């Protein structure tokens, strides 16, 4: 067991509180992964002050040079991929194949963001007056507060950190209390790459003391948050008072449609991965399955049979397919929703619905993959984010009914349709209200070169990943250079303008 420190101004330091919290393995609560600083608002203040000092010089480093640091970080993550993945499985629970993918997503983001160091494109446009040039360019904003979740404890921090850095900003990371080790590993990679002191800082602790202070701090110019819609609304109110830039990536209630003409075996593989990968603890997880009436009963029978074969256990075991819930409280939250589903008129529990405590799982926070049939649109288990291995099955008369059912939610992150009909596929792409639509693929599995985010209660219009994330971490500046040697008035002198 090792005590992990905060990283502020290029130094590993204890919290001012001198208190620590234990981080336990969710697959085996007897194993303490490490102890982490239970930091205070004053620790957050120290980190912001360091980031503000570093910003004065970091913003002047040419973007291609800033990018070179990210390429080095990507190489370090590559070299330590297996070790970091195993640490992540121990602290978060998801299986090794998924934690390797989590680290790989961080690697991909390092190289994608690094590539932007030689782009950061603006526009050069013709001006309406002679002997005058005009263009736009991106400028950094300042100190960024990055508040990250526990389900992708390295990938999501890199989505925020790397674009912020390549744009010339500095950052304070506040990792989720359940998974701080993966962010510590990420910051160690940044340190090894030689990123200057103060440019990257990490402060561990609870959301109220550390995250709340970052949101309130007048020197923090940008907040990027991934978490629940409830917290996101609160942050929007707080940041709105000071007009602070805020990027929100919030919840989802994602659905997979399976039509009569679909490849049912392929659709079955998709829903198993979408609903029960990461034990359903993804904002893109398949929480609803919308089945075309002619194939509904057959597909449901196929699904239940396959779910019965899923192996639960410690994610360090390569044969395990489903790991634990991240914490006891998360498991209790999932179970409360299962009890709600049991009470909803018409819903029928066809599999699962209980803690899983067999064998080696006895000491972990495991939950049996769960399926409800007979679910209808108004039910809470069809409308509210559960964030666990619980799948609600709904029936659709036809494509239009399926799309209407999918859209009947407050969220709009990811969506999926399985069909062999190209016309059905393109109608779904056009009519589904979501930031992501998969055709013949599950609702999970986004790639970093495309924008990530959603509509409605899923966010506030910003996107992560791709080049679109640069809009979160930059301000636009329009530049005009008049080399005519005389006063020229735009719009007013246009009609008489001549070479």
Asked about 144 being catalytic, the answer comes back as no
Q: Which of 91, 98, 116, 249 is catalytic?
A: 249
Q: Go through the chain and tell me how many residues it has.
A: 499
Q: Which of 144, 190, 239, 283 is catalytic?
A: 283
Q: How far is CA 405 from CA 17, 236, 383, in A?
A: 50, 29, 11
List all residues 6 or more positions away from 336 whose beta carbon is below 8 Å from its beta carbon.
none
Question: What CATH number belongs to 3-250+459-478?
Answer: 3.40.605.10
Judge whether 298 and 332 are in contact, CB under 8 Å.
no
pLDDT at 300: 98
The pair of three-digit structure tokens given for residue 378, joined into one six-digit string: 């108004």
pLDDT at 1: 63
pLDDT at 2: 81
Judge whether 473 and 163 are in contact, CB under 8 Å.
yes
The pair of three-digit structure tokens given for residue 46, joined into one six-digit string: 């120290």
| Angle in degrees, CA 164, 442, 309, rounded to 5 | 120
The pair of three-digit structure tokens given for residue 27, joined into one six-digit string: 């697959």
Nearest to 82 by CA among 110, 103, 109: 103
- Residue spans of the domains in the chain: they are 3-250+459-478, 254-439
Judge whether 274 and 303 are in contact, CB under 8 Å.
no
Q: Which fold, 254-439?
A: Aldehyde Dehydrogenase; Chain A, domain 2 (3.40.309)
List all residues 6 or more positions away from 18 whose beta carbon is below 8 Å from its beta carbon.
none
pLDDT at 190: 98
The pair of three-digit structure tokens given for residue 237, joined into one six-digit string: 């109110």
Low-confidence ranges of the chain (pLDDT < 50): 499
Nearest to 169 by CA among 148, 194, 198: 198
pLDDT at 376: 98
Judge whether 314 and 320 are in contact, CB under 8 Å.
yes
Predicted model pTM: 0.97
The pLDDT tens digits for 63-116 are 999 999 999 999 999 999 999 999 999 999 999 999 999 999 999 999 999 999
pLDDT at 466: 97
Region of 346 on the Ramachandran plot (φ > 0 left; ψ -120 to 50 alpha; else beta): left
Q: Which residues pair with 34 in a beta bridge?
A: 23
């Amino acid at each position: 067991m090792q005590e992990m420190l905060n990283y502020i101004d290029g130094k590993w330091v204890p919290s001012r509180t001198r208190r620590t919290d234990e981080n336990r393995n969710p697959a085996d609560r007897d194993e303490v992964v490490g102890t982490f600083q239970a930091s205070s608002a004053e620790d957050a203040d120290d980190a912001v002050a360091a980031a503000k000092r570093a910003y004065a010089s970091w913003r002047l480093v040419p973007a291609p040079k800033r990018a070179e640091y990210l390429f080095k970080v990507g190489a370090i993550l590559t070299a330590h991929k297996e070790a970091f993945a195993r640490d992540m499985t121990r602290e978060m629970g998801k299986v090794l194949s998924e934690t390797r993918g989590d680290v790989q997503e961080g690697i991909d983001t390092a190289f994608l963001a690094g590539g932007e160091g030689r782009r950061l494109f603006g526009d050069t446009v013709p001006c309406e007056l002679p002997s005058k040039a005009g263009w736009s360019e991106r400028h950094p904003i300042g100190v960024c507060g990055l508040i990250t979740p526990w389900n992708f404890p390295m990938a999501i921090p890199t989505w925020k950190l790397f674009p912020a850095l390549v744009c010339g900003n500095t950052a304070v990371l506040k990792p989720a209390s359940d998974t701080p080790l993966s962010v510590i590993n990420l910051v160690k990679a940044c340190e090894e790459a030689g990123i200057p002191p103060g440019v990257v800082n990490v402060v561990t602790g609870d959301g109220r003391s550390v995250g709340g202070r970052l949101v309130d701090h007048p020197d923090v110019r940008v907040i990027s948050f991934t978490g629940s819609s409830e917290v996101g609304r609160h942050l929007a109110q707080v940041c709105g008072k000071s007009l602070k830039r805020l990027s929100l990536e919030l919840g989802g209630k994602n659905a997979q449609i399976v039509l009569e003409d679909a490849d049912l075996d392929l659709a079955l593989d998709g829903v198993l991965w979408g609903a029960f990968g990461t034990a359903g603890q993804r904002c893109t997880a398949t929480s609803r399955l919308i089945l075309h009436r002619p194939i509904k009963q057959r597909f449901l029978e196929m699904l239940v049979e396959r779910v019965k074969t899923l192996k639960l256990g410690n994610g360090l075991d390569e044969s395990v397919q489903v790991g634990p819930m991240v914490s006891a409280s998360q498991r209790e939250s999932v179970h409360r929703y299962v009890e709600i589903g049991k009470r909803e008129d018409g819903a029928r529990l066809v599999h699962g619905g209980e803690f899983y405590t067999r064998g080696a799982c006895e000491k972990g926070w495991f939950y049996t993959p769960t399926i409800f049939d007979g679910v209808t649109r108004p039910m809470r288990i069809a409308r509210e984010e559960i964030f666990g291995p619980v799948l609600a099955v709904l029936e659709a008369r036809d494509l239009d009914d399926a799309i209407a059912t999918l859209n009947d939610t407050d969220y709009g992150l990811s969506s999926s349709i399985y069909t062999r009909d190209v016309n059905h596929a393109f109608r779904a792409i056009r009519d589904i209200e979501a930031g992501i639509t998969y055709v013949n693929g599950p609702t999970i599995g986004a790639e970093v070169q495309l924008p990530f985010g959603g509509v409605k209660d899923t966010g506030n219009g910003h996107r992560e990943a791709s080049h679109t994330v640069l809009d979160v971490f930059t301000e636009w500046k329009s530049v005009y250079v008049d080399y005519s040697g005389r006063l020229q008035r735009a719009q007013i002198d246009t009609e008489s303008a001549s070479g």
